Amino acid sequence: MKIFGEVEPHVNYVYRPGAYGLLTREGQVGVVKAPLGYFLIGGGIEPEETDEACLIREGLEEAGCMLSVGEFLETVDEYVIVKGTEMAYHKRITAYRTEIVSCGHAQLETDHQLIWMDKAAAIEVMYLKGQAYLIETYV
C-alpha cells in the first residue's frame, strides 16, 4: 500500500477510513471544492457503513448527486495535519470508479461544489497527495 505524508513525532493521528469516488466525463475529472481545498467526492465512513453506502451518502451531501459505485481501484494511506488546526489524521483512502446517476437532490453541505477540470489541473490542486496520485494513476 502506498503511504503519503510524513509521520511527525509526538503527534497523535486519528485513524479515519474513507471511501472516495473517481468521477470522469469527457476527459475531465469531477472534484469537490470545499472550504479547505479540493478533494475527490466522498469522505469518512460512519460506523457500520459500507464503502458503497458512504459514497452514496457523501455524493448526496456534498453535491446533491446520486452516485453509482463501480470498480475498486486502490487503497492508499495519508498522514495529514489539517491546515489552521491541530487536528492530525491517518486517512485510509479507498477509491472506486464512480458515476453520477442523477443530480438536483437536496445538498446538505452547501459550502461544497462539484466542479470539473482537466486531469493536470486536478492533480495540481488536490489537498491530499494520495488523491492526486489516484487521479494521476487512474484517469
The per-residue pLDDT for range 116-135, each reduced to its tens digit, is 999 999 999 999 999 999 99
The per-residue pLDDT for range 1-34, each reduced to its tens digit, is 999 999 999 999 999 999 999 999 999 999 999 9
Distance CA 132, CA 135 (A): 5
Mean pLDDT over 86-100 rounds to 97
Q: Is the pLDDT confidence value at 96 over 90? A: yes
67 neighbors 51 (Cβ within 8 angstroms): no
The per-residue pLDDT for range 22-67, each reduced to its tens digit, is 999 999 999 999 999 999 999 999 999 999 999 999 999 999 999 9
Which residue range(s) make up the domain with 132?
3-138
Q: How confident is the model at residue 83 (pLDDT cuts 50, 70, 90)?
A: confident
Q: How confident is the model at residue 86 (pLDDT cuts 50, 70, 90)?
A: confident
Q: How many domains are there within the chain?
A: 1
Quick check: helix, strand or coil at residue 82? coil
Mean pLDDT over 83-109 rounds to 95
Over the range 92-128, which residues count as b (16 or more CB within 10 Å of their CB) and which as e?
bbbbbebbbeeeeeebebeebebeebeeeebbeebbb
CATH number where 91 lies: 3.90.79.10
CA-only gyration radius of the chain, Å: 14
30 neighbors 11 (Cβ within 8 angstroms): no
Alpha-carbon distances of 112 from 28, 33, 41, 91, 101, rounded to whole Å:
19, 6, 10, 20, 19
pLDDT of residue 71: 98
**Model-level pTM?**
0.95
